[in-house]
Structure 1
Amino acid sequence: MQNKLTLHLVSEATGQTLDSVARACIAQFPNTDVRLRHWNLIRTQIQLRRVLRNIALDRGPVMSSLTDPTLQADMEAGCASMQVRLLDVLDNALRFLTEETGEAATRHPGGQYIMDESYYQRIEAMHYVLAHDDGQETKGLDNADVILVGVSRVSKTPTCFYLANRGIKAANVPLVMGLEPPAPLFTTKRPVIGLTIDPERLIEIRRNRLSQMMPSGRQAASAADYAYVDLEKVQEELHWARRLCRRHNWPVIDVTRRSIEETSAAILDLVDMNN
């Protein structure tokens, strides 16, 4: 039987940083069922009092990323009065960097969310991914930071969108056995990286995709559908794609046991090596 815990996350901004920290930590406690309650954009004492009332009704520890000293002090006092544990996830890091830089932290709420050059770079990268998804606009491959290739349903598109959020312009080109890949793929100077996957896992993903796409009135799958999820055909397809990558010296990443984040980290390492 799992332990149960309500964990309150209180942030002055969007709460993304705090959520990421909390989820990374929660993953290390598989025997505890943790329910997250998010309290974002908390910037006034009225808002904070509302949060504290809700914590009193649904008691549980609190992780906070409040930077305003007054709100932080009120948060500490409120949690102490309820005998609820509070962890300020930014305090130690800010203190550490203050000591290292000799500069006092500005404690500006949401300071990481500013429309600077890197912000517009991410927007540009997102537009690029939209225009170059699934083999579109192959004449623009030379403008990519990286090009992903692979057979259908190996997570090329979601990986490209994750990379775009890091400011990386990523194009993806599907590899279809029996069809010649677009010529610009073989002449570009940009890094090309192949994605592959375990055939049985790929079949599982494709079956789920087919079931979602099947029209309600259609009772039987077509011959093409059967080939799409046939183990022998899928193995042949993956082997063909690997041979193509090997022939052109394109590195290959197996995504079978990797999350999108882990795959993207491996791609960025390869891109750095190429630069």
Structure 2
Amino acid sequence: MKNREIVYIVSDSVGETAELVVKAVATQFNRGYVEIKRQTYVESFEDIEDVLAMAIHGSAIIAYTIVIPTLKEYLDKRAKDIGIHAVDLLNPLMEAFINKFNQQPKYQPKLMRKLDDDYFRKIEAIEFAVKYDDGRDPRGILNADIILIGVSRTSKTPLSMYLAHKRYKVANVPIVPEIKPPDELFKMPRNKCVGLIISPDKLNAIRKERLKNLGLKSEANYASFERILEELDYAEKIMKRIGCPIINVSDKAIEETADYILDILKKERSS
């Protein structure tokens, strides 16, 4: 049985990129017995010396993804001095980018990990908004960054999703006269909650169109003016009881309302 060949992955981050490249290359040589060892978060000359000591003992190859120039230069020089084959997996492409775009890189480690973390935070926020949409589970209120409250058709759901794409966990709660608001709503700091109101005429038109799309008669109680006035009056009483800021969404686009919400909450939390 052949001895296992060793490739040391050296990275100032987690080393995932380098490992994938090494595995892809190894398969081209039918080197299924190549052993890969990761040395991650390398941040000093001492860290590099530790890797070199292990690599020279096993006559290993070093494949590295280090973007900090001083560390890269040190590894290149020391590996050459002691006869270890060290391969820079990033620099050739980095140089091509510099020449093509006439721009210098940031030379900051862990940027890919930051992008990944940002992506997963967005996915988590979107899943949260879906799970706690329309008051489905009031327990979500306690874990939300923002709680939107208002009567039906005040854009609570689209606003929740838009804010979720900005990494905010949003729960929204419909206010209906016949249904007691969840107790959790009154346990939250007022600077996490936003009330959404709309003009009766605008809401009447929106609800009539909604009924039309559903194939229902526009004369239904849902779209009646008296019902709308009753709901709006009740909703405002709840909002005043909570003490939260109130936004009129009558003539605002989703993006405009979302920016306004974030601006209001920022001021509320800093005061």
- TM-score category, normalised to shorter length: 0.5 to 0.7
Higher helix share: 2
In structure 1, runs of 5+ residues without a counterpart are 1-67, 73-94, 99-103, 215-219
TM value normalised by structure 2:
0.56
Deviation of 1:105 (Å): 5.3
1:142/1:189 contact within 8 Å kept: no
Structure-1 separation of matches of 2:105 and 2:252: 37
Structure-2 separation of matches of 1:192 and 1:240: 17
Match runs of 1:227-238 below 5 Å: 227-238=221-232
Q: Deviations over 1:143-179 (max 9, x none)?
A: 1001000000000000000000000001000000122
Structure-2 separation of matches of 1:142 and 1:232: 34
Structure-1 separation of matches of 2:118 and 2:267: 22
Q: Please point out which of 230, 243, 249 is paired with 1:255.
A: 249
Paired residue secondary structure (1:176): coil
Structure-2 separation of matches of 1:248 and 1:184: 11
Deviation of 1:142 (Å): 1.2
Structure-2 separation of matches of 1:221 and 1:257: 26
Which amino acid is the alignment partner of residue 146 of structure 1?
A: I
Q: Extract structure 1 runs of 4+ deviating beyond 3 A.
A: 68-72
Which amino acid is the alignment partner of residue 221 of structure 1?
A: K
Which amino acid is the alignment partner of residue 116 of structure 2?
A: D
In structure 2, runs of 5+ residues without a counterpart are 1-96
Task: Give the RMSD, CA atoms, in angstroms.
Answer: 2.8
- Name the count of aligned residue pairs: 169
Aligned to 1:270: 264
Q: Deviations over 1:179-221 (max 9, x none)?
A: 211111111236111001111111111111111222xxxxx63
Structure-1 separation of matches of 2:151 and 2:176: 6
Is 1:241 matched up with 2:242? Answer: no
Aligned to 1:164: 164
Q: Please point out which of 218, 221, 246 is paired with 2:217.
A: 221
Paired residue secondary structure (1:116): helix
Structure-2 separation of matches of 1:235 and 1:252: 17
1:129/1:164 contact within 8 Å kept: yes
Structure-1 separation of matches of 2:167 and 2:268: 17
Which amino acid is the alignment partner of residue 193 of structure 1?
A: V
Structure-2 separation of matches of 1:199 and 1:175: 15
Paired residue secondary structure (1:167): coil
Paired residue secondary structure (1:123): helix
Paired residue secondary structure (1:180): coil
Structure-1 separation of matches of 2:235 and 2:105: 51
1:196/1:254 contact within 8 Å kept: yes
Structure-1 separation of matches of 2:230 and 2:99: 64
Aligned to 1:200: 201
Paired residue secondary structure (1:201): helix
Aligned to 1:19: none
Evaluate the alpha carbon distance shift between residue 159 and residue 69 of structure 1 in structure 2; reply closer, same or farther with a 3 A threshold: same
Structure-2 separation of matches of 1:155 and 1:266: 14
Deviation of 1:70 (Å): 8.6
